[in-house]
Amino acid sequence: EAGVAQSPRYKIIEKRQSVAFWCNPISGHATLYWYQQILGQGPKLLIQFQNNGVVDDSQLPKDRFSAERLKGVDSTLKIQPAKLEDSAVYLCASSSWRAGGAADTQYFGPGTRLTVL
């Protein structure tokens, strides 16, 4: 079974430029997550989708970050304009959806390492 796919693996941009990351979840997984992992820290959830609807985007800096999952499968995360503090690894994960708060396992992609100069 194919895992979570992400591209690109690495990206270097100048501050104030725009960048987009792509994620394709494990087939059949209804839930998709984007995380930001700053060096030396644990991943922090940016946004969670259930199919093509947003479940939680409370920690997404909406003035510069946006994400979409139009057809309920793959997803794009965009930063516009980028700041120096956005340098991080952006991880995508997917899982099945369970009602009642039960936690299904999240499986992660290889991540995109973003460097903002």
Residues within the interface to another protein (CB under 8 A): 31, 40-45, 48, 50, 55-56, 89, 91, 93, 97-111, 113
Considering the complex, state which of residue 29 and residue 81 has its C-beta at the smaller distance from another protein. 29
Report, in Å, the least distance between residue 81 CB and another protein: 25
HEC secondary structure over 1-23: CCCCEEECCEEEECCCCCEEEEE
Residue 8 Cβ vs another protein, minimum distance, rounded to whole Å? 13
Nearer to another protein, 24 or 48 (CB): 48
Burial 29-38 (b: 16+ CB within 10 A, else e): bbbbbbbbee
CB-nearer residue toward another protein: 35 or 65: 35
Contact by Cβ (8 Å): 95, 31:
yes
Q: Can you tell me the distance from the alpha carbon of 97 to that of 103, in angstroms, rounded to the nearest whole number?
A: 8
